[in-house]
Amino acid sequence: MKKEYDVVIIGSGLGGLVSAIILAKEGYSVCVLEKNNQFGGNLQTFVRDKTIFDTGIHYIGGLSEGQNLYRYFKYLGIMDDLNLKKMDEDGFDVISFEDDVVEYPHAQGYDNFTNQLGKYFPDEIENIENYCKKIIETCDTFPLYNLKFEGEYDSNILSLNAKKEIDEATDNSKLRAVLAGTNFLYAGIAEKSPFYVHALSVNSYIQSSWRCINGGSQITKQLIKQLKINGGEVYKYKEAIKFEVEDNKVTSVKMKDGTEVFGTHFISNVDPKATLKMAGIDKFRKAYYNRIQSLEGGISAFSLYLVFKPESFKYLNHNYYHFKDSNEVWTAHDYTEETWPKAFMASMNASKKMDQWADGMTFITYMKFDDLKPWVETVNTTAEKEDRGESYEEFKNRKAERFLQEIELKFPGIRDCIKSVHTSSPLSYRDYIGGHNGNMYGYEKDSNNPMKTFIASKTKLDNLYLTGQSINMHGVLGVTIGAVVSCSEIIGKEYLVNKINEATL
């Protein structure tokens, strides 16, 4: 590692790596620092019982030729080397309810989406079409989502509430639940979640939905490969702990191991609250600091990773969003000890080996960080191991058993197929991914006060920028666009968008 770079990036999540490639392609000397053993943040995979599991990327949208994420990935140089499997065209996501035997598909392509749902709601076809139009119109108001540099967000769009807009689309309560059924993608909250977050989240999946064969970490590998081709560098076990600041500029970043790196520009791909602390809270206006501190992290998750016995459980080329009660699609995060879990998302990895049988399956449900209060002071990663103790293991085992009982109601006989069960809690997400209190998707967006939850990528320090899932939007597409926004502050938006379009049109 050299002593000085043009750009120093803290954190090797998707936002950090995309920013690094964009700037390295422009001739900047770039260095990425990662505190953990594995690069990639939410793109990380891990292996249990010789079975690959994804940490956060269970499927990706918008990757068919000419679609938005395809074009961003093409510009980054990674598209042609990704190993992908297209999900079921007639139902990549399936919404199901314990109080209803019917399974409702979300299909790829807007006409197909309407046709497939129309089979279950024949009187609602016009309403479904209008809902689709509203999604597309909303997405069209975001320039970078469509690789344009002109145009401003319509502030009225930011204030629309997701639940309200879906409820206005139809009077049919079951269809409302089905249309809102994937709100796990953004941890939907009835009174807060904006409609644009819903629209941007579901639109790219309706365009096209894909699984990464053998996991999403291949995206990280390809990004790092392209970064190195363009002269960039990336280092692990480098935990940044402090920014040195002089004359309203960051001069260097100090690491836990005592090393120090100087730079001209600094991009932080770590949580904004942590970033402000690293720079020193006195370096920012009090109102700005207080606003960032007051942001509420979204809810976290508890996950079960099931390894199956060979040839025991059929591979499913779609995800499930399953709810105990179709009336509780917006309140699944609001549980008690007795009612948990109210809902879950079920997904599986696509494997190279065969299509017929599944190696394993991931089940994710909401969990509040406060449920983990007794173990909050512990930290456990590959780089920094600490035993959280027997009580923590007992807690996880108890929750795993309770969760499995719910899963069995949806998938009778699944327990007989299981070879081993593995878990992760909000503490795992906090320690490995770095999100505030282990939140899944950054900070909660609020349709009632959109600007309160807006975090600009440029900070008040002249050369410090923010990127990652807490800035702009979460998800693979959202974070990629967020990195383009961050880099635009350094090299100019019109110039950069033109470059991406020239490379992909």
pLDDT band at 349 (very low <50, low <70, confident <90, very high): confident
Ranking 21-25, 117-121, 371-375, 409-413 by mean pLDDT, the lowest is 371-375
* Chain segment 439-474, per-residue pLDDT in tens: 888 888 899 998 888 899 999 999 999 999 888 888
8-state DSSP, 6:
E
- To the nearest whole percent, how much of the chain has pLDDT over 70? 98
Q: CA of 189: how far to CAs of 50, 302, 445, in Å? A: 37, 18, 10
Q: Say whether pLDDT at 386 is over 90.
A: no
What is the model's pLDDT at position 55? 84
The two beta strands, 100-106 and 93-97, are antiparallel
Decide: 236 and 256 in contact? Cβ < 8 Å.
Answer: no
Q: 3-state DSSP call for residue 326?
A: helix
Strand positions, DSSP E, 327-481: 343-347, 360-367, 418-424, 464-466
Pairing of strands 4-10, 464-466: unpaired
Q: In what order do the strands lie in the sheet with 343-347?
A: 100-106, 93-97, 319-323, 343-347, 360-367, 300-308, 418-424
**Residue 248: is its pLDDT beyond 90?**
yes
Q: What is the pLDDT of residue 312?
A: 95
pLDDT band at 354 (very low <50, low <70, confident <90, very high): low
- 430, 438 in Cβ contact below 8 A? yes
Higher pLDDT, 32 or 383: 32
Give pLDDT tens digits for 267-285. Answer: 999 999 999 999 999 999 9
Of 100-114, 144-158, 360-374, give the lowest mean pLDDT range: 144-158
354 Cα distance to chain centroid: 27
Residue 152 has what pLDDT? Answer: 63
Q: What is the reported pLDDT for 383?
A: 65
Residues 6+ away with beta carbon under 8 Å from 450: 155, 158, 159, 194
* Residue whose structure tokens are 């069995």: 408
Q: How far is 394 from 400, CA to CA, in rounded Å?
A: 10
pTM: 0.93
Top-confidence residue, 474 or 175: 175
Q: Are 140 and 237 in contact (CB under 8 A)?
A: no
The predicted-structure confidence for 91-131, as pLDDT tens digits, reads as follows 999 999 998 999 999 999 999 999 999 999 999 999 999 99
Q: Give 205-228 pLDDT, tens digit per residue.
A: 999 999 999 899 999 999 999 999
Closest CA to 153 of 161, 143, 165, 162: 143
The mean pLDDT of the chain is: 93
| pLDDT > 90 fraction of the chain, expressed in percent and rounded | 79
pLDDT reported for residue 153: 63
Q: For the CA atoms of 186, 192, 198, 200, what is the dihedral angle to 10 degrees?
A: -90
168 Cβ neighbours under 8 A, 6+ residues apart? none
pLDDT per position as a tens digit, 392-430: 999 999 999 999 999 999 999 999 999 999 999 999 888
The answer on pLDDT for 435 being more than 80 is no
Instruction: Let me know the angle formed at the C-alpha of 469 by 490 and 145, rounded to the nearest 5 degrees.
Output: 70
